[in-house]
């Protein structure tokens, strides 16, 4: 999925955009801010803050770093959390319930056993533990869990930090776009192009050609698929989307799923969840929850559900 930001110099709107490729969260991050004259200094300052927020988030919650907050949680049975970390786990529990367990952050050991890079040399018992055994005390912001329950925030983290960045930018600007590896929040409109929306292209995972052009105004979109982070292990194709039932890379008849939502966290989580669910169950779940979604099947066919149709530009 790629953001599309055509320019038009015949108006008074200015634009600043910055891209950092592969240095943060192993993904490409883009932020564009549109502003009126005399706001350039503020836009420049806000861009610097945005990328500092992304770097701080990665430092706190990356599973590839030792001694950060996530590492401490995974080596604890009881721990006092920061407000942000507590909120992340509250959101994770809520999505775990809404998806009937398909979204499950307690799959870190399974990720490592499947061969995802950065595996620890320490040995943990990955079996017989459920994310539901993680308990949150709202009064003390404390978490308790079994010692062998290990959390990975890869299924929710990018969407969550994009929303945090968007909340920050909204205090200063009406029109901006934040894109963290295809997890996108589009605020306001593309004033430079005189569009009452931002145009975001959804790409076919095999051909790279555009499936649809989404017209977004104050909305988020995220795409997930097995083509993004994949590898071979013992001659088998593996990827980072783990099916909690099998504790293996999900076997799905879908190549990719794109979800549109009011916030990026929701779009991020459900794009992954619908992929794991597969075509039939995924479409049913999207319909049940009224989620705008675009499915690309194994046959290469794009299915744009009823809820997503209103966001698609039609020629």
The model's pLDDT over 124-180, given as tens digits with 9 standing for 90+, comes to 334 557 899 999 999 999 999 999 999 989 889 999 999 999 999 999 999 999 999
Quick count: other Cβ atoms within 10 Å of Cβ 174?
A: 14
Q: How confident is the model at residue 62, as a pLDDT?
A: 93
Domain annotation covers residue 138: yes
Beta bridge partners of 303: 295
Average pLDDT, the chain: 88
Domain annotation covers residue 291: no
| 108-117, 141-150, 277-286: the lowest-pLDDT one | 108-117
Q: What is the mean pLDDT of residues 241-268?
A: 83
How far apart are the C-alpha atoms of 278 and 273, rounded to whole Å?
9
pLDDT at 229 exceeding the cut of 70: no
Read off the pLDDT band of 208 (50, 70, 90): confident
> Taking each helix axis from N to C terminus, what angle separates 264-277 and 279-288, rounded to the nearest 10 degrees?
140
Asked if residue 152 lies in contact with residue 144, where contact means CB atoms within 8 angstroms, the answer is no
Q: How confident is the model at residue 212, as a pLDDT?
A: 96
Domain annotation covers residue 2: no
Read off the pLDDT band of 2 (50, 70, 90): low
Residue with tokens 């990018």, as numbered in its chain: 158
Q: What is the mean pLDDT of residues 100-126?
A: 64
Q: What is the mean pLDDT of residues 226-243?
A: 57
Domain annotation covers residue 286: no
Residues with Cβ within 8 Å of 127's Cβ and at least 6 positions away in sequence, in order, are none
- Counting the structural domains of the chain, the total is 1
Residue with tokens 């909204």, as numbered in its chain: 170
Q: How confident is the model at residue 121, as a pLDDT?
A: 38
DSSP assignment of 236-278, as one string?
Answer: EEEES-EETTTTEE---SEEEEEEEESSHHHHHHHHHHHHHH-
How far apart are the C-alpha atoms of 249 and 230, rounded to whole Å?
10
Domain annotation covers residue 74: yes
Please enumerate, as own/partner, the contacts of 233-240 that have beta carbons within 8 Å and a separation of 24 or more: 233/114, 233/115, 238/114, 238/115, 238/116, 240/111, 240/116, 240/154
Beta bridge partners of 248: 243
Q: How confident is the model at residue 8, as a pLDDT?
A: 47
198, containing H or E segment: strand 198-203
How far apart are the C-alpha atoms of 273 and 164, rounded to whole Å?
22
CA neighbor of 306 nearest in space, from 245, 252, 260: 260
Domain annotation covers residue 108: yes
Domain annotation covers residue 15: no
Q: How confident is the model at residue 113, as a pLDDT?
A: 66
Q: What are phi and psi of 200, to 5 degrees?
A: -125, 120
How far apart are the C-alpha atoms of 260 and 251, rounded to whole Å?
23
Residue 112 sits in which domain range?
69-144
pLDDT at 250 exceeding the cut of 90: no
Could you tell me the pTM of the whole model?
A: 0.89
How far apart are the C-alpha atoms of 76 and 55, rounded to whole Å?
24
Q: How confident is the model at residue 241, as a pLDDT?
A: 72
Read off the pLDDT band of 107 (50, 70, 90): confident
Domain annotation covers residue 158: no
Q: What are phi and psi of 57, to 5 degrees?
A: -60, -45
Beta bridge partners of 236: 233
Q: What are phi and psi of 141, to 5 degrees?
A: 55, 45
Q: What is the mean pLDDT of residues 258-270?
A: 97
Q: How confident is the model at residue 16, as a pLDDT?
A: 97
pLDDT tens sequence across 3-60: 544 444 468 999 999 999 999 998 999 999 999 999 999 999 999 999 999 999 999 9
């Amino acid at each position: 999925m790629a953001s599309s930001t055509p320019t038009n110099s015949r108006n008074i709107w200015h634009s600043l955009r910055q891209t950092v490729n592969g240095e943060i969260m192993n993904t490409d991050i883009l932020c564009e801010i549109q502003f009126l004259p005399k706001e350039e200094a503020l836009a420049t300052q806000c861009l610097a803050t945005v990328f500092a927020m992304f770097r701080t988030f990665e430092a706190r919650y990356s599973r590839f770093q030792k001694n950060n907050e996530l590492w401490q949680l995974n080596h604890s049975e009881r721990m006092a959390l920061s407000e942000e970390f507590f909120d992340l786990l509250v959101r994770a529990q809520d999505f775990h319930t809404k998806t009937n367990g398909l979204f499950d952050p307690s799959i870190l050991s399974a990720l490592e056993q499947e061969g995802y890079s950065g595996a620890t040399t320490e040995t943990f018992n990955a079996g017989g533990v459920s994310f539901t055994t993680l308990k949150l005390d709202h009064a003390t912001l404390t978490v308790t869990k079994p010692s062998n329950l290990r959390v990975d925030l890869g299924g929710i983290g990018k969407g969550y930090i994009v929303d945090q960045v968007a909340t920050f930018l909204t205090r200063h600007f009406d029109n901006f776009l934040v894109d963290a590896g295809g997890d996108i929040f589009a605020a306001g409109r593309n004033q430079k192009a005189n569009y009452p929306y931002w145009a975001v292209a959804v790409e076919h995972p095999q051909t790279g050609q555009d499936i649809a052009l989404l017209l977004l105004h104050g909305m988020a979109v995220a795409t997930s698929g097995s083509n993004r982070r994949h590898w071979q292990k013992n001659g088998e194709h593996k990827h980072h989307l783990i099916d909690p039932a099998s504790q293996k890379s999900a076997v799905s008849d879908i190549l990719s799923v794109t979800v549109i939502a009011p916030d990026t966290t929701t779009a991020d989580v459900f794009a992954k969840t619908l992929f794991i669910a597969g075509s039939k169950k995924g479409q049913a779940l999207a319909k049940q929850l009224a989620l705008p979604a675009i499915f690309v099947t194994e046959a290469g066919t794009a299915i744009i559900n009823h809820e997503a149709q209103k966001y698609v530009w039609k020629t």
